Structures are given as C-alpha cells and as structure tokens.
Structure 1
Amino acid sequence: MQPAISGQETSLPEEAEADFLSMPGHLLRRCQQIGVAIFLDECRAFDLTPLQFSILAALDRFGAMDQARLGGVTALDRTTIVVVLTKLEERGLTTRSQSAKDKRSKIVDITDDGRATLRKVLPSVRTVQERIFSPLTPRERTQLIALLSKIADENNVHSRAPHRLP
C-alpha cells in the first residue's frame, strides 16, 4: 500500500483489487507464466522453449513453408519468428533457404535432427500438459480447452499475429 498524499488515500479500494485479481487478462497472463515455467522445467534436458517446440511441431505436421506462413500457423509475429528460427537453425534443427517462387521469401524446413529432437521431447511435453491440467477433472479439462479455443478463435482478428492455417 502506498502512503497517502495530502491526506488522500492513494491505494485502490479492496473491491478494485479483488476485481484486478479475477480479471481474465490477469489470470491468462498468470497461467501463461505458469505454463512456460512448467515447460522449461520438464524440457530442460532438451534446451527447447515453448515457441521453438511449436515451430518444430508445425513444420513436422504441415511440412516446409515460408516464414510468413509459419508465423501464421504458430501465431508468431515477424520479429519473433526470425529470432526463434535463428536459434533453431544455429542448433541444426531447421533450415532456411530462398524460395524458388519468390526471391524475397525464405522457406523453412525441419531437419532430421529437428525431427529426432521433437520425438524425444514429446513425452516431456505430454507431462507438461498433465501438470498444467492437474487441478482439473477430465470434464473441466475438456471445457477449458473448448472455452480457450473459443476465446482465441473469436478474438483472432485482434491479435498482432493472427493464427492462420497453411
């Protein structure tokens, strides 16, 4: 609590504080922090971040694609995708090459080492999901996924990096 200035109360009333703690944005941010912490804990041995995992998983599922399309599939903005791809490429998990169709475009592909890493990390990623979901019943898990998907899908147009399927 901050000190009062000139006899005026400067802290928020209890109702506002309670409202803040139950705001969806605040709770989503906290859950994101927790999810990343659990991922980093479980996947420490693979030296992989959640964003790196999502890129490898997208390339494995959908095949090689240009950086812009990969950004859409993973809902990552242009700057972030370049930073993450640089790290993956330095580790030999992905490659980037110039597009034959558009010289300004880079085609990204997963390497054999990238696929091997993805296969090795998948059991740990499953454990991450279980740890995140541990407070919920099976029914609540299904409901949460449905509700989060609805929020993400209906608000996709407001994203700095909208999700787009290839």
Structure 2
Amino acid sequence: MSTNAGLREDGDDDLDRSIRDLLLLMPQIMGRVKRLPVPPELAGMELTPRHLSLLSLLLFDGSMTVNELAGRLGVAPTTASLMIGDLSRKGILTRRENEADRRQKIVDIADAHRGAIETWLAPGARAWRRVLAPLSAAERRLFVTTMMAYHEAAEQV
C-alpha cells in the first residue's frame, strides 16, 4: 500500500478514499498483532489484548498503583484489580505495599517474565519507532490524538 494512501495526485485529501484505505488497513494491522508469537515462557497463560495493554504500560512507564493503571487503561479500578489479580496468580506481575500508603498496592512485571514481555512487545515498538521518528513532535501528537479519537468514536457507534 502506498504511503500516500488517501491523497490524490494533486495533493488534495480525498476523505472517502482515506476512510476506505483505513477500513482495509485496520483488520490487517489487528491480524498482524494477533499473529505475534507469544514467547514460550508465556504460552498457555491465556493473555488477552487487555493484558497486553497493561503489560505495555508497566514496561514503558514502570510500576504503578492499581488506580493509576485503571486510569491509564480507561477501566474501572475493579476491572484493573481483577486483571492484575489474574496476572499475579500466573506469576507475571508482582504486587507490594506502597510505603507511603499501605492501603495501596504497587504493581510491576515480575523479573522472571520481564525479558519475555520485552521480546514480545519489541517488534511493535520497533515498527512504531520507525514510522513515528521522522515526524515532528506535533505530527506525532496529532497522529496519536487522532487514533485515540477514532477509538472513542468507534465505541459510540
């Protein structure tokens, strides 16, 4: 597919063509993500895309509380707590008390699985780095904001 999908030869954007191109592209992207091989250490643990999002946050942003994870994932704290409990029972995550507030738990990726998770997420991170690096900070922000807006709009349909 052309990197100028949706652009006519005269440079004017054709909205319907762009929408068509994106509707064709999105299933291909999702299919590619679903085909990422799960590392042997994580095989059979029934990880879902939500788990992948949670693991990505912890990998890139470091340990955080259940409420912080819930906020960043856009889910209720109860939902985040259930996912964290599931991954903790499988040994993928660790939970420890927050020294500043013992009622809170700090969640992180277990050292035993950090390498496998990094390996699993690396191809996607490299691909995003390759396509986003040439863009200006404003262009990257616009792209990310547009993807987030699409996600929100698609939920309302």
TM-score w.r.t. structure 1 length? 0.51
* Secondary structure class of the residue paired with 1:109: strand
Give the unaligned 5+ runs of structure 2: 1-18
Q: Specify which of 33, 40, 47 is matched with residue 39 of structure 1.
A: 33
Aligned twin of 1:108: 107
Aligned residues: 125
Which gives a bigger RCO, structure 1 or 2 (Cα 8 Å, sep 6+)? Answer: 1
C-alpha RMSD over aligned residues: 4.2
For the pair 1:150 / 2:145, whether they are aligned, the reply is: yes
Question: How far, CA to CA, are the matches of 1:55 and 1:103 in structure 2?
Answer: 22
What stretches of structure 1 of length at least 5 have no aligned partner?
Answer: 1-21, 131-137, 159-166
Q: For the structure 1 residues 81 and 43, does the alpha-carbon distance in structure 2 shift closer, same or farther, using more than 3 Å as the test?
A: farther
- In 1, Cα distance between the equivalents of 2:34 and 2:149? 29
CA distance in 2, matches of 1:81, 1:34: 28
Between structure 1 and structure 2, the one with the greater Rg is 1
Percent identical pairs in the alignment equals 24
Query: What letter is aligned with 2:32?
Result: I
Q: How does 1:54-133 map to 2 (within 5 A)?
A: 54-126=53-125
Q: Cα distance, 1:88 vs. partner?
A: 1.8
Contact 1:43 1:125 in 2 (8 A): no
CA distance in 1, matches of 2:31, 2:77: 24
Deviation at 1:115, TM superposition (A): 1.1
Shift of 1:76: 3.4
Are 1:51 and 2:25 matched, yes or no? no
Q: Do the aligned residues in 1 keep the contact of 2:66 with 2:80 (CA within 8 Å)?
A: yes
TM-score normalized by the length of structure 2: 0.54
Residue deviations 1:21-75 (CA, integer Å, cap 9, x gap): x7xxxx6xx94x7655432322345444332223223223322221111222333
Aligned residue type for 2:109: I
What CA distance in whole angstroms lies between the structure 2 residues aligned with 1:85 and 1:76? 12
